[in-house]
Amino acid sequence: MPYKKFYPAEERHQNYYLKNPARYKTYKFLSGRTPFLEKMRGKEKKKGGGGSNLRNKLSDLQYHVTQECGTEPAFKNEYWNNHEPGIYVDIVSGKPLFSSKDKFDSGTGWPSFTKPIDAKSVIEREDKRFGIPRTEVKGADSGSHLGHVFEDGPKPTGLRYCINSAALKFIPLKDLGLEGYGGCLKLFE
pLDDT digits (tens, 9 = 90+) for 129-185: 877 889 999 999 999 999 999 999 999 999 999 999 999 999 999 999 999 999 999
Distances (CA, A) of 105 to 20, 35, 162: 34, 36, 10
Q: Where are the domains of the chain?
A: 11-67, 86-188
Burial zone of 80 (CB within 10 Å; 0-12 exposed, 13-18 middle, 19+ buried): buried
Is 23 in a helix, a strand, or coil?
Answer: helix
Q: Are 156 and 181 in contact (CB under 8 A)?
A: no
Res 37: pLDDT: 67
Distances (CA, A) of 185 to 31, 39, 74, 96, 189: 44, 47, 30, 12, 7
Which class in CATH covers the domain with range 86-188?
A: mainly beta
- pLDDT beyond 60 at 44: no
- Separation between Cα atoms, residue 60 and residue 24, nearest integer Å: 20
Is 162 considered catalytic here?
Answer: yes
Q: Which of 58, 87, 122, 162 is catalytic?
A: 162
- Separation between Cα atoms, residue 177 and residue 185, nearest integer Å: 8
Q: How many CB atoms lie within 10 A of CB 102?
A: 19
Predicted confidence (pLDDT) per residue in 56-86, tens digit: 899 999 999 999 999 999 999 999 999 999 9
The chain-wide mean pLDDT, for the chain, equals 87
- pLDDT beyond 80 at 38: no
Query: What is the distance in angstroms between the CA of the first residue and the CA of the last residue of the chain?
Result: 69
The strands making up 168-172's β-sheet, listed across from edge to edge, are 96-99, 86-90, 168-172
